[in-house]
Amino acid sequence: MSGFDYDLFVIGGGSGGVRAARVAAGETGAKVALAEMDRYGGTCVIRGCVPKKLMVFASEYAGMPAEARAYGWDIADGAFDWSAFRGRLHAELDRLEGVYRRLLTGSGVETFDARARLRDAHTVELSTGEVKTAKHILIATGGRPVRPDMPNARLGMVSDDLFHMETLPKSILIIGGGYIACEFACILHGLGVEVTQYYRGAQILRGFDEEARGLIADAMKERGIDLHTGTNIVEMRRAAGAHPEDGAGSPEAEGMGTVPVEASQFGAHPEDAPGAGPLRVKATNGKVRDFDAVLFATGRRPNTADMGLEDLGLTLTRGGAVEVDAYSQTKVPSVYAIGDVTDRVNLTPVAIREGMAFVETVFRGNPTPVDHELIPSAVFTQPEMGTVGLTEEAARDREEIDVYCTSFRPMRTAFAERPDRVLMKLIVSKATRKVLGCHIVAPGAGEMIQLAGIAIKMGATKEDFDRTVAVHPTMSEEIVTMRNPVRSA
């Protein structure tokens, strides 16, 4: 090891860091250590994908009794018990964290429950006071949700806070229009919360296919989510009556528009925490409303603060991400970075792939660039969206395309007289006939897009899809039965 304590020191115990550490140690024989300041499993396992998906499952039962009755079952509506679900949720997260710890131990990785920062290109200083050296250092510290820069933003929640609520709010305002905002709008609505959503843009889910996100927006409104686009938050404070000095019952308390910000007692209660009482919110449309809770889903930021990175000569982007090359290497040759901290494609499977490519490059002597092309992904709204490849808008800016698309009421919900619609869409190159993109909005779209992604990654043409026999009766059969384009561009 040329005098170093370790061959590899990994900072961050999320999915990417853990995979890189245990593969390097268990399969290449490297001496590896890993430091994690919080819980093992990172964003995905502890405060992201896993608990969110379990909440998705819980929320989907809301419509089951009514649908079952349409099919002849004598099933009564029930009530959701957040405390019972929350207990099982945290027990499952504890179990998964234990799995991650055992995987590391079983692979021979030495772990430190501590915060780490870089002292130099080969030295890591831990919050315990220990100092460790390594031939290679891998930064895999992930990202975190951020609150907007506005008075009283601390009174609102971010996505991490949702999993720790003692009780469900009766009403919530969600600020944001990205996938996290939309997923939690659907989840909380399904769990019985009155949901209002503000998004400053013209349509939610910016960056996704226009037709697909339009259908999801319509479905969310149809289900009862009070969605307002072109709308943002202007002011927020504790509602009148939450504290005696707020002026409960006074004319000023009835509308913030008549009270100067200085007189509206913003920030008058720094001891308050999210969930301590109703919040009064003024929107850009002039409306003033009270909510039991406010959730900010307005962005995430890489965890790079106070790690000594800039002092070391690493380049950070304006958003604080670590700049790396195609092999995840920074400007400092011994230091690499993977996952959300690099702000490339912020998905758990991508971080894992980046970790594997890092091990292949550094410890197996096989330089392996990370492949970020044609990555399938899903948005767990209700209905779900699955997507891979180019949107219609991006594809037509690049070349001439044919668009194959169908939208219909699926058999299951049509029989139950529900208005739900699904969308199946293929974007096809006119020149090569390759399928450039696939977009599905439907129950189970995440499951469907995984398989479609294989074909598209292999370079399948529209005629390859056409030659595939349909599975009938299914929603997904429409992917292989669309014969004529609905438009060309």
Which positions are annotated as active-site residues? 472
Distance CA 8, CA 6 (A): 5
Nearest in space to 137 (alpha carbons), one of 317, 328, 305: 328
Structural element, H or E, at residue 408: strand 401-408
Structural element, H or E, at residue 174: strand 171-175
179 is in an annotated binding site: yes
53 is in an annotated binding site: yes
In this structure, what token pair is assigned to residue 22? 């245990």
180 is in an annotated binding site: yes
| Residue located via tokens 């494609």 | 345
Please report, for residues 176, 340, 382, 406, the alpha-carbon distance to residue 202 in angstroms, rounded to integers and kept in the order given. Answer: 12, 27, 20, 24
Residue 176 gets the label, from left (phi > 0), alpha (psi -120 to 50) or beta, of: left
CA 444 to chain centre: 17
Helix, strand, coil percentages for the chain (3-state, nearest 5): 35, 25, 40
Bridge partners of 424, per DSSP, are 406, 440
325 is in an annotated binding site: no
61 is in an annotated binding site: no
Distance CA 462, CA 488 (A): 14
Please report, for residues 239, 257, 259, 272, 288, the alpha-carbon distance to residue 282 in angstroms, rounded to integers and kept in the order given. Answer: 11, 8, 12, 19, 4
- 3-class state of residue 275 by DSSP: coil
Q: 69: buried, middle or exposed (CB in 10 Å: 19+, 13-18, 0-12)? A: middle
Bridge partners of 157, per DSSP, are 295
Bridge partners of 227, per DSSP, are 197
365 is in an annotated binding site: no
Report which residue type is found at 338.
Answer: I
Structural element, H or E, at residue 57: helix 49-60
| Residue 282 CB neighbour total at 10 angstroms | 19
Report which residue type is found at 203.
Answer: Q
| Residue located via tokens 């995430």 | 300
- 3-class state of residue 336 by DSSP: strand
282 is in an annotated binding site: no
321 is in an annotated binding site: no
Asked if 155 contacts 294 with a C-beta cutoff of 8 angstroms, the reply is yes
357 is in an annotated binding site: no
| Known binding residues for NAD(+) | 176-183, 299
| Known binding residues | 53, 176-183, 299, 340
| Known binding residues for FAD | 53, 340
